[in-house]
Amino acid sequence: MEGASHFPFSIIPAPDWRWLPDRADRPRYPTMRLFPQPRAMDWGAASTAVREELREKLKSGKPTG
């Protein structure tokens, strides 16, 4: 639903070829940002990446987009 609404959003998907693992963006949903797990069940690495991205956006004064 978020992809259709054009609002920026992020997800942490499980490793799967359908998520195009070599890309962080989605051609079909340009506002979607993926933070894939480097290995199955490695939530820590993905959570750290989300936290750093959010920290940078908040520091820049642009928390969305």
**pLDDT tens profile 3-33:** 556 677 777 877 777 777 677 677 777 888 8
Does the pLDDT of residue 48 top 90, yes or no?
yes
Q: With a threshold of 0.75, does the pTM exceed it?
A: no
Amino acid at 35: F
Query: What are the Cα distances from residue 30, in Å, to 11, 43, 44?
Result: 13, 24, 25
Structural domain total, the chain: 1
CA 55/CA 16 separation, integer angstroms: 27
Q: Is residue 56 situated within a structural domain?
A: yes
Domain hosting 48: range is 2-15+24-60
Taking CA atoms, 53 is separated from 21, 60, 63, in Å, by: 18, 11, 10
Residue 38 lies in a domain: yes
Q: Would you say residue 9 lies in a domain?
A: yes
Q: For residue 53, is it within any domain? A: yes
What is the SS3 assignment for 21?
coil
- Check residues 45 and 12 and name the one with the higher pLDDT: 45
**Residue 65 belongs to a domain:** no
Residue 46, pLDDT above cutoff 80: yes
pLDDT greater at residue 1 or residue 25 = 25
Average pLDDT over all residues of the chain: 78
In a domain, 39, yes or no: yes
